[in-house]
Amino acid sequence: AFIAEEDITVVAIQCCINPIVNFIANDGEAWILAELNQGGGLVGTPGTLMHSRYFQLWNTAPAAVIYNPVSDILVYPEGKGIHVKEEGILQVLVQGANTSAADCTWCIRHIIHYVKGLL
């Protein structure tokens, strides 16, 4: 199944201390919906939509999670590389992201294009 970039609407970053941030693609920019209700790892207010420049992850190696509600395909961190699993689930492991929001945005865009190339 081919996933168009405009169909991928939600991307989340989760670091090892468990904050989760949802990146919502909007005209090539990474907008963030914070869904953090436990302490640490994220600067922002839970449930608030803000641009990525207002966020900074404290952890140095977040993993990226991509969810596409159109085709119900989920990409999440586990293991190495990308694996096709049952019920249209893909696995992606992301490494090397820095703590700046700019690096997180680049990482998300890279993953979206990478996943598009595999499908």
The residue ranges of every structural domain in the chain are 7-118
Rounded CA-CA distance 102/75 in Å is 21
Which residue pairs from 46-55 have beta carbons closer than 8 angstroms and sit at least 24 positions apart in sequence? 49/24, 52/23, 52/101, 52/102, 52/104, 52/105, 53/101, 53/102, 54/101, 55/21, 55/101, 55/104
- pLDDT tens, residue by residue, 1-50: 333 444 433 334 333 223 333 443 333 333 333 333 223 333 333 333 33
Is the whole-model pTM more than 0.85? Answer: no
